[in-house]
Amino acid sequence: MTDPKTSMVIGIGNPLRGDDGAGYRLARCLQSEERADLKVIATQQLHVELAATVAAAERVLFIDASHGLEPCGRWSSPHVEPLASPGPDWIGGSTLSHQLSPPALLELTKALYQHRPSAWQLLLPGQQWDHSEALSPLTAAAVAAAFPLIEAWSRGDA
């Protein structure tokens, strides 16, 4: 069993941009349950200031919506997968951006705090990214299917 004080879930997304808000919404649901076994963060994007919080965790699960998870109109159920280290050129992208990828946040955490927690990701399929507070039926189904996966992960079964 995993020490509950060191497990963290970070849900990412903009809840005003349709399916992009799936990770954020899922994290907000977990926060409303006031879970003692997880530290849960809902954020619109990953930013440098999260490094200190992530450094206190032993394990972290990033949840986000993603394009391209529905090949040929079909989609398999969501799954939790290990998040690999990005390698030596982890910064990537624009240095003017305030947004980080999960691997970049983890490497920044390691550089600043000499600790990189074990990390996983749970990607949810997204279809609509327009201004809306509603999730598409596909994404809503994926969010519902994600809860048992998060439970298993929080028990250390991932």
Q: 4-154 has which CATH code?
A: 3.40.50.1450
pLDDT in tens, 41-87: 999 999 999 999 999 999 999 999 987 665 555 556 677 888 876 65
Overall average pLDDT of the 106-111 stretch: 94
Binned at pLDDT 50, 70 and 90, residue 2 comes out as very low
Higher pLDDT, 10 or 86: 10
Averaged pLDDT of the chain:
85
Quote the Cα angle for 80-27-116, to 5°. Answer: 55
Q: How high is the pLDDT of residue 95? A: 47
Packing angle of the helix pair 137-154, 22-32 (nearest 10 deg) = 50
The pTM score is 0.87
